[in-house]
């Protein structure tokens, strides 16, 4: 695990505190989710429903709410008894799935740049990661490289759409190609859909499990933290066929056993909220995206138009910087703002080097203040 010792988030957050920088590095919203969801958690504490161990694979009401959510949004028929597992955030579910499904020496194919915990999870499972680049003008997944990367040693393709850190959403055509490769090679897809409700314009999220032949080979992961803006609560889940979910359950129950009783009641309530909640949530975030992406483009950065997630990726080369890591290490002192370089999420430095990730899930006044600082600090 030595290679996983340092974290760019720790480095940048320390630097942010030191110089009083605005932290657009870490992806968490600075406003809470709906009050009615909080009230359910508070009530579950006050009336004693949520204060002792909930059932190991998740509160039955929450498992039912997850199944109903998959049917309502995606037409997927999920049995809450055997097709669902609840855990301590999408994070624990992802790591459990990797440990459950990957054996010593198995290869896990993962798109580069990746979400930071994947590589540690692959190491914990004793697996070997094989990167597939997202590159070119729109940072699209290189599906020819994916086809070449999948071999008889491949156990799993780790998919993440909407994608962190790039901010892109895989198109239906891209998903169909991923599915084709998975089916032809008989591999499982672990699909991290933490940002399933955070997509914009016409980039609607499509779960790969909805494609023909995919339900039976896909573990689909969701996050209550991301969907309801309660990232500190750590309620996540997976759905999928009983053999795969059964395996994830075995590992997960020996990690945290159970988690967050009151929060499970609250997230179950949230999943049943009307469509207006989801639409307003997206619209509010789209406005923040527009503020930051317009501002960053005006500074001369090369903005990759974000189709989903909390993040905007920009190319820093137009500002004369050789790479994103240099840019991000200088930025807090130079401009009082923190961002995160893609290259720490890549094995191949060429893939991520030019790009930097900025979080826009912040109040408009914070985004405007950050842009003011950037204009002053970068002399624009
Ligand atoms: C935040 C995030 C997660 C983790 O979600 P939690 O529910 O907070 O554990 C998983 N995957 C991606 C891509 C994320 O950005």
CA of 194 to the centre of ligand 1 (A): 6
Q: Which tokens sit at 20? A: 């009083």
Q: Three-state SS string across the chain, please?
A: CHHHCCCHHHHHHHHHHHHCCEECCCCCCCCCCCHHHHHHHHHHHHCCCCCCCCCCCCCHHHHHHHHHHHHHHHCCCCCCCCCEEEEEHHHHHHHHHHHHHCCCCCEEEEEECCCCHHHHHHHHCCCEEEEEEEECCCCEECHHHHHHHCCCCEEEEEEECCCCCCCCCCCHHHHHHHHHHHHHCCCEEEEECCCCCCECCCCCCCCHHHCCCCHHHEEEEEEHHHHHCCCCCCEEEEECCHHHHHHHHHHHHCCCCCCCHHHHHHHHHHHCCCHHHHHHHHHHHHHHHHHHHHHHHHCCCEEECCCECCEEEEECHHHCCCCHHHHHHHHHHHHCEECEEHHHHCCCHHHHCCEEEEECCCCHHHHHHHHHHHHHHCCC
Burial class (CB in 10 A: 0-12, 13-18, 19+), 272: middle
Cα 341 to averaged position of ligand 1 atoms, centre (Å): 18
146 CA from centroid of ligand 1 (Å): 23
Centre of ligand 1 from the C-alpha of residue 262, in Å = 20
pLDDT (0 to 100) of residue 34: 98
Mutation pick for ligand 1 pocket among 159, 223, 227 (CB with most ligand atoms within 8 Å) = 223
**Ligand 1: distance of its center to the CA of 144 in Å?**
27
Burial label, 379 (beta-carbon count in 10 A; 0-12, 13-18, 19+): exposed
Residue 120 Cα to ligand 1 midpoint, Å, equals 14
Q: Please write the tens of the pLDDT for every residue from 303-345.
A: 999 999 999 999 999 999 999 999 999 999 999 999 999 999 9
Best of 89, 97, 120, 345 for a ligand 1 pocket test (most atoms within 8 Å of beta carbon): 89
Q: What is the distance in A from the centroid of ligand 1 to the CA of 354?
A: 24
pLDDT in tens, the chain (380 residues): 999 998 888 888 888 899 999 999 989 999 999 999 999 999 999 999 999 999 999 999 999 999 999 999 999 999 999 999 999 999 999 999 999 999 999 999 999 999 999 999 999 999 999 999 999 989 999 999 999 999 999 999 999 999 999 999 999 999 999 999 999 999 999 999 999 999 999 999 999 999 999 999 999 999 999 999 999 999 999 999 999 999 999 999 999 999 999 999 999 999 999 999 999 999 999 999 999 999 999 999 999 999 999 999 999 999 999 999 999 999 999 999 999 999 999 999 899 999 999 999 999 999 999 999 999 999 87
Mutate to test the pocket of ligand 1, among 87, 91, 168, 230 (most ligand atoms within 8 A of CB): 91
Q: What local confidence, expressed as pLDDT, does residue 8 receive?
A: 87
Question: pTM of the full predicted structure?
Answer: 0.98
Cα–ligand 1 centroid distance for 375 (angstroms) = 31
Model pLDDT for residues 214-255, shown as the tens digit of each residue? 999 999 999 999 999 999 999 999 999 999 999 999 999 999
CA neighbor of 244 nearest in space, from 164, 301, 187, 173: 187
Pocket around ligand 1: residues whose beta carbon is below 6 Å from it?
89-91, 115, 160, 164, 192, 194, 223, 225-226, 231, 234, 236
Strand partners, 311: 359
Q: Which residue has its alpha carbon closest to ligand 1 atom 11? A: 194
At residue 79, the pLDDT reads 98
pLDDT of residue 6: 84
Of the residues 98, 225, 229, which should be mutated to test ligand 1's pocket, given the most ligand atoms within 8 Å of the CB? 225
């Amino acid at each position: 695990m030595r290679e996983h010792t340092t974290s760019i988030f720790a480095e940048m957050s320390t630097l942010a505190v030191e110089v009083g920088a605005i932290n657009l590095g870490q992806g968490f919203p600075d406003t809470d989710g709906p009050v009615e969801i909080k009230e359910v958690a508070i009530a579950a504490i006050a009336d004693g429903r949520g204060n002792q161990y909930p059932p190991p694979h998740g509160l039955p009401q929450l498992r039912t709410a997850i199944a109903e959510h998959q049917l309502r949004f995606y037409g997927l028929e999920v049995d809450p008894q055997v097709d669902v597992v609840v855990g301590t955030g999408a994070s624990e579910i992802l790591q459990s799935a990797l440990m459950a499904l990957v054996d010593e020496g198995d290869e896990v194919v993962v798109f580069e740049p990746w979400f930071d915990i994947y590589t540690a999870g692959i190491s914990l499972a004793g697996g070997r990661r094989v990167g597939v680049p997202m590159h070119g003008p729109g940072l699209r997944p290189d599906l020819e490289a994916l086809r070449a990367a999948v071999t008889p040693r491949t156990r799993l393709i780790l998919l993440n759409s909407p994608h962190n850190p790039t901010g892109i959403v895989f198109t239906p055509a891209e998903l169909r190609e991923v599915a084709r490769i998975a089916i032809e090679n008989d591999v499982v897809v672990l699909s991290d859909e933490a940002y399933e409700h955070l997509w914009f314009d016409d980039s609607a999220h499509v779960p790969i499990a909805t494609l023909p032949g995919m339900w039976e080979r896909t573990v689909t992961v969701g996050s209550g933290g991301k969907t309801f803006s309660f990232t500190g609560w750590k309620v996540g889940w997976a759905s999928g066929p009983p053999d795969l979910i059964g395996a994830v359950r075995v590992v997960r129950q020996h990690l945290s056993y159970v988690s967050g009783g009151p929060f499970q009641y609250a997230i179950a309530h949230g999943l049943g909220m009307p469509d207006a909640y989801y639409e307003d949530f997206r619209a509010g975030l789209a406005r923040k995206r527009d503020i930051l992406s317009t501002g960053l483009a005006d500074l001369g950065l090369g903005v990759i138009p974000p189709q989903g997630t909390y993040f905007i990726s920009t190319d820093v080369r137009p500002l004369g910087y050789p790479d994103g890591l240099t840019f991000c290490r200088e930025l807090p002192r130079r401009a009082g703002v923190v961002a995160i370089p893609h290259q720490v999420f890549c094995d191949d430095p060429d893939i991520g080097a030019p790009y930097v990730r900025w979080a826009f899930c912040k109040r408009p006044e914070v985004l405007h203040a950050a842009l003011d600082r950037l204009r002053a600090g970068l002399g624009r």
